[in-house]
Amino acid sequence: MVLSGLILAVCLVMVCALSLVFGSRSVSPSDILHALSASSDDIAVSAIRLRIPRTVLGLLVGAGLGVAGTLMQGISRNPLADPSILGFNTGAALAIVCSIAFFSLSTPAQYVWVGLLGSATTALVVWAIGSLGPSGPSPLRLTLAGVVISSVLGSLTSAILLPRINVISSYRFWQVGGISGARFDLMMPVLPLLALGLILAFCLTPGINALTLGDQMAEGLGMHVGRVRSLAWLAAILLCASCTALAGPIGFVGLVVPHVARLLIGPDYRRIMALSILIGPLLVVGADVVGRIITRPSDVEVGIVTALIGAPVFVILAGHRRTAEV
Instruction: Name the residues that contact another protein, by CB under 8 A.
Output: 80, 84-85, 129, 132-134, 138-141, 143-145, 147-149, 151-152, 154-156, 158-159, 161-163, 165, 168-169, 172-173, 175-176, 251-252, 298, 300-301, 303-304, 307-308, 310-312, 314-315, 318-319, 321, 323-325
Give the number of other CB atoms < 10 A from CB of residue 139: 21
Distance CA 231, CA 233 (A): 5
Shortest Å distance, C-beta 266 to another protein = 25
Apex CA 72: angle with CA 202 and CA 207, to 5°? 45
- Sign of the Cα torsion 205, 79, 9, 88 reads negative
C-beta closer to another protein: residue 14 or 294: 294
Q: Environment class of residue 121 by beta-carbon count within 10 Å: exposed (0-12), middle (13-18) or buried (19+)?
A: middle
C-beta closer to another protein: residue 89 or 119: 89
Is the separation of the CB atoms in 130 and 141 below 8 Å?
yes
Shortest Å distance, C-beta 319 to another protein = 6
* Residue 84 CA neighbour count, 13 Å, CB half: 24
Distance CA 73, CA 232 (A): 11
Is the separation of the CB atoms in 284 and 163 below 8 Å?
no
C-beta closer to another protein: residue 12 or 80: 80
Shortest Å distance, C-beta 154 to another protein = 8
3-state class percentages of the chain: helix first, strand second, coil last, to nearest 5:
80, 0, 20
Distance CA 218, CA 237 (A): 23
Shortest Å distance, C-beta 121 to another protein = 15
Overall size of the chain counted in residues: 326
C-beta closer to another protein: residue 177 or 197: 177
Shortest Å distance, C-beta 84 to another protein = 7
Shortest Å distance, C-beta 213 to another protein = 25
**Running DSSP on this structure, what letter comes out for residue 268?**
-
Distance CA 83, CA 244 (A): 9
| Nearest one of 249, 252, 253, 231 to 241, comparing CA atoms | 249
Shortest Å distance, C-beta 151 to another protein = 6
| Nearest one of 202, 215, 180 to 304, comparing CA atoms | 180
Shortest Å distance, C-beta 204 to another protein = 27
Apex CA 285: angle with CA 281 and CA 286, to 5°? 110
Shortest Å distance, C-beta 122 to another protein = 13
C-beta closer to another protein: residue 142 or 238: 142
CA 187 vs. chain centroid, Å, equals 15
